[in-house]
Amino acid sequence: MDESAWGALQRAATKALAHAYAPYSGFAVGAAIQTKSGAVFTGCNVENASYGATICAERAAMAAAVAAGERELVALAISSKAKRPTPPCGICRQCLAELAPSLSIRSYAGSTHAQYNLSSLLPDAFGPNHLG
Ligand code: THU
């Protein structure tokens, strides 16, 4: 991923952020995933009155990619209005590791970003290979 590709992914994530449904936490998140074909899939968090039913932005973006027949995830951009970049939550780490255990991730907040690799965020992940 070069800088211009990251820039496009950041813009896609920030566009999705505007659609976040977060009436309970007030914490809006947008996400954009680029797949191997070059396509970009977006998601936002979708909260629920039954709080535990909330879907995070990252998982929503992953589901959109899979629903379009794309499973080779190359990069993920996360966008929020937080003071500092937010890493993906534990549930999202596990979900993303199913398809892309070494996914390249950037999280953007204001003019700053943090960069992660999923293999560092979720070392020794349980995955399909453990099922035998
Ligand atoms: N959230 C995400 O969408 N992604 C994350 O990685 C962290 C948390 C959402 C879930 C909930 O709607 C709100 O942010 C506060 O936790």
Rounded (10°) CA dihedral 23, 25, 88, 125: -100
Handedness of CA 43, 49, 51, 52 (dihedral sign): negative
pTM: 0.97
User: What string of pLDDT tens digits covers the 132 residues of the chain?
Assistant: 999 999 999 999 999 999 999 999 999 999 999 999 999 999 999 999 999 999 999 999 999 999 999 999 999 999 999 999 999 999 999 999 999 999 999 999 999 999 999 999 999 999 999 998
Q: Give the bridge partners for 78, in sequence order.
A: 31, 107
Chain CA centroid to CA 131, Å: 25
Q: Is 70 in the pocket of ligand 1 (CB under 6 A)?
A: no
- Ligand 1 pocket check for 54: Cβ under 6 Å: yes
How big is the CA angle at 10 (ends 57 and 8), to the nearest 5 degrees? 125
Mutate to test the pocket of ligand 1, among 21, 45, 94 (most ligand atoms within 8 A of CB): 45
